[in-house]
Structure 1
């Protein structure tokens, strides 16, 4: 059985970056036919939630060390976790098996990226298979904290002199990870809500829309936590990422 990615992000000259998903024509604003399978982790002792584990298995060339990627993954998944009652996320290390595997790969390392060189990332819905929930990010493009152009010498000092004025386009890693994380948890696209993280087109947004929140809570329940507390943790996470 061939399992197709639930989402890929591809370049489109007319409309920027688009996330493609199967059967988009079947979706509507009023009623989105959600994916049927969700994570059902075992609950720990008396806790009301269970842990979905994740692990980074390869780094990006865009950052000096893996602490950047680990922080981005934690922010992306916790953005969803702050809104849900039934699941939390836990990083595992070494040879430990993870529910969600995250990796960066170039178009020379990944056959999908090799065929479609303008794809940013892809992810799999939960599907009761070893690759369910996995996320893969294209490391042939450049990632950054905020998606702004970066001086070419900073990224490729061997190819550009220190005085170059050339700038290279980058993509907001947090935004794409939150979006792909939504797919890894079971969410399809919202085809008409332009403010939603799950909108099919890249926007660089890092805040969940009301529709995103409602949909993820329909899967995993509503967490009893105030908006003020959620905003505090969200701002704290993003601030820590920006200060790295």
Structure 2
């Protein structure tokens, strides 16, 4: 049996190659050989609400539902781009939404899974923004605004985020080691899987009297990136993404 982990696809209508690759992944999941698929945040480039049912969004929802209906368990951790994914999306797709931090039993190994943005504590401005937009009352207000207004707000936020990213040092946008150790200790685990930073790698972390292992998933920009885990090994599947002409 296999368990799959992906993150940071940033699905959008303008990158059809990424969408095609994701749809192929879902279609090829064999429930008889698959324990689960975990999507660790930023499945979408930006999600403005569960009621934004464009043909593209419906295509993704239907593909997820088809995979779940065939017998594959799919779990989603919300990222910094799709934090507005909600209960309606979960009901429509059959996907199970997880919290910011979840410990799973990965073939006998307790493993912490998360998007990873909460570990980037050196980016103080982003953490302040994150704390603000994840307040339930503010999300309720936003979701009850007219869709046209929500789209304008999101467009403005995306533009500001691009400008802020250009001005930030690369180290600020990576994880803070103290935050990483705190997460290991808080959840009492020695294994962690996350995305967000777009810096795929396998890191060892010194913990109290033991060594931790932090696996970082890659984004889906030029290649797809799938971590496949079995009871005996871990492997990365990468294939070039071809954009249709």
TM-score range, shorter chain: under 0.3
Higher share in strand:
2
TM-score, normalised by the number of residues in structure 1: 0.24
TM-score, normalised by the number of residues in structure 2: 0.24
